[in-house]
Amino acid sequence: MRITKTPEERKAEMVAIASSLFARQGFVRTSVSEITDGAQVAKGLFYYYFATKDDMVRSVVEGYCAYLEADLEKIVSGNETGREKLSRLFSGEAWRTYFTQPLMNDLCLPTSKAVYSDMCDQVTAHLLPGMSRVMEQALVEAGKDPALASQLAGTMLYGVLMMMRTNRLNADEIMRMMDLLLS
């Protein structure tokens, strides 16, 4: 007997399979056929939901961002100082959980600039509200004016993402910048 699923369930199933494949082998080495075979659907159904494989990558990244946002909310609501929260956020552990090395390697390829830029936009949209609250807390604790906390958080978040793409920044350097800002 054939199992009938809603369009939303089918799409979510393909995104989950793609997510698992991208985490293991990146999206460059993952074929549309591998995704559809894993979901046991016809290849044409992939293109019904996603115009291109890049659209699938964007859907996977969107899912990761939602999880990352939930993790950030736990950090924001914690009892640590603002600086400790920033340190946890930029420690890289949460990032490595969702943005695995194979996926990040592919996102950082010159041919993936548009997808990487979209990823930066998605990460910023999901994380900016919580990061702004953490930045405001850290500035207040440092005796600084928190009026521009949101702009500072956005500039830092987007800048960090862009600099990480070119391997010009790591977690230790980010925290050194935070120390300079908050001292």
In the numeric block, which tokens belong to residue 92?
Answer: 């890289």
Locate 23 and state its tokens: 């985490």
Confidence at 92, pLDDT banded by 50, 70, 90: low
The CATH fold assigned to 53-182 is: Tetracycline Repressor; domain 2 (1.10.357)
For the stretch 57-82, pLDDT in tens is 999 999 988 888 988 899 999 999 99
The string of DSSP codes covering 53-120 is HHHHHHHHHHHHHHHHHHHHHHHHTSSS-HHHHHHHHTSSHHHHHHS-HHHHHHHTSGGGHHHHHHHH
Domain boundaries, the chain: 53-182
Write out pLDDT tens, residues 140-168: 999 999 999 999 999 888 888 877 777 77
Q: Per-residue pLDDT tens for 109-138?
A: 889 989 988 988 998 999 999 999 999 999
